[in-house]
């Protein structure tokens, strides 16, 4: 493979940094742009091992001066910058709008003006489907987001597809499900309950499960998501398309917590009532049909939940302090 010039927005975040590590290993020239906004996912420790092999640019993708400069001459862009907390989007909807909708428009405007040939993968989310009307959820499922975050991410996704149709930008949309692995935020439950469970396990605290814990979910280990992104960015067939990611193992949250305890070797779980602000935006069971990306791009996850959880837990056993 020829060496490519690659930009990753949100590049110091969980998925962005994992992707960067892979791309550096493949010999590419990688630039990471990240605003390092506190409480978001950006963390310099995520790239500690590759910091001399990547270019790190701390700036906001909404900056109309710096971003076009960073975009110039890039072959590929992985557009992963975003506000990902569902709860924060309800308490501060304007910031969520600004980052998940306005910033995306701003990025795409820069692309069409400065670098219309750049290939783009946009990280969208299963959140835009809302409460499943049927399972597994495929890409044709109605889009009825249950929180402001879902609505704004949906707008961001639409912009990407529109700029493909109208301006010919080579965009691909991936709708991620719950992604986990080394580098994820574990400080609080802002992004996912799985993060706080990892932290609590390592700190010897109980894992709290809302409700009866029977809600089903699917998960992707971050390395599998990185695979999907590489498949997508390289494919002509994928351009202008939307693909679900998803995991073959569907598991209830209570069973997941118990699996984590068993993999970690110690710990305990407790069921607690749903906090009202969580209940209002809860979606019940969710798992996705990812057959479209399997058929088109040959992608399927290869890391089992048990293996992925094992890797994640041993990472945080060693490095938890860097994520608090």
Which of 295, 301, 285 lies closest to 135 in space, CA to CA?
285
Q: Name which of residues 20 to 79 contact a copy of itself (CB under 8 A).
A: none
Using CB under 8 A, pick the residue from 155, 216, 239, 261 that binds a copy of itself: 155
Using CB under 8 A, pick the residue from 111, 123, 151, 172 that binds a copy of itself: 151
Residue among 151 and 260 whose Cβ is closer to a copy of itself: 151
Using CB under 8 A, pick the residue from 97, 121, 137, 253 that binds a copy of itself: 97
Residue among 90 and 239 whose Cβ is closer to a copy of itself: 90
Q: Which residue has the tokens 């068993």?
A: 262
The three-state secondary structure class of 122 is strand
Q: Which residue has the tokens 């975050």?
A: 149
What does the alpha-carbon distance between residue 180 and residue 242 come to, in Å, rounded to a whole number? 21
What does the alpha-carbon distance between residue 120 and residue 233 come to, in Å, rounded to a whole number? 7
Residue among 155 and 239 whose Cβ is closer to a copy of itself: 155
User: 214 to each of 4, 221, 275, 277, how far by Cα in Å?
Assistant: 45, 21, 16, 19
Find the part of the chain contacting a copy of itself (CB under 8 A) among 5-13, 77-85, 88-96, 310-318: 88-96
Pattern 280-319, binding to a copy of itself, x per CB under 8 A? xx--------------------------------------
Establish whether the linkage from the previous residue to 32 is cis, with ω within 30° of 0. no
The minimum distance between CB 211 and a copy of itself, in angstroms, equals: 18
**HSE-up (13 A, CA, CB side) for residue 232:** 31
Using CB under 8 A, pick the residue from 165, 205, 268, 306 that binds a copy of itself: 165
232 binds a copy of itself, rule: CB under 8 A: no
């Amino acid at each position: 493979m020829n060496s490519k010039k690659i930009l990753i927005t949100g590049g110091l975040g969980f998925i962005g940094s994992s992707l960067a590590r892979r791309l550096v290993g493949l010999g590419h020239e990688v630039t990471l742009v990240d605003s390092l906004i506190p409480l978001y996912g950006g963390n310099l420790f995520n790239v500690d091992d590759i910091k001399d092999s990547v270019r790190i640019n701390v700036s906001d993708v909404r900056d109309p001066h710096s971003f076009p400069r960073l975009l110039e001459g890039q072959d590929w862009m992985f557009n992963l910058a975003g506000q990902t907390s569902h709860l924060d989007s309800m308490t501060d909807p304007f910031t969520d709008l600004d980052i998940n909708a306005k910033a995306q428009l701003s990025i795409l405007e820069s692309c069409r003006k400065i670098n219309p040939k750049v290939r783009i993968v946009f990280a969208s989310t299963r959140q835009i489907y809302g409460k499943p009307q049927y399972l597994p959820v495929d890409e044709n499922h109605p889009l009825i987001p249950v929180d402001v975050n879902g609505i704004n991410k949906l707008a961001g996704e639409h912009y990407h597809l529109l700029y493909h149709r109208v301006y010919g930008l080579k965009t691909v949309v991936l709708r991620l499900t719950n992604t986990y692995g080394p580098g994820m935020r574990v400080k609080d439950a802002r992004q996912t309950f799985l993060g706080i469970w990892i932290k609590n396990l390592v700190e010897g605290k109980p894992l709290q499960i809302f409700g009866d814990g029977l809600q089903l979910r699917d998960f992707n280990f971050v390395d599998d998501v990185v695979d999907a992104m590489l498949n997508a960015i390289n494919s002509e067939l994928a351009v202008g398309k939307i693909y679900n990611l998803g995991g073959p193992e569907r598991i209830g949250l209570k069973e997941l917590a118990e699996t984590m305890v068993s993999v970690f070797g110690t710990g305990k779980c407790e069921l607690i009532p749903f906090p009202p602000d969580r209940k209002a935006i809860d979606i019940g069971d969710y798992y996705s049909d990812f057959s479209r990306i399997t058929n088109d791009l040959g992608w399927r996850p290869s890391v089992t939940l048990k293996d992925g959880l094992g890797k994640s837990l041993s990472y945080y056993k060693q490095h938890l302090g860097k994520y608090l």
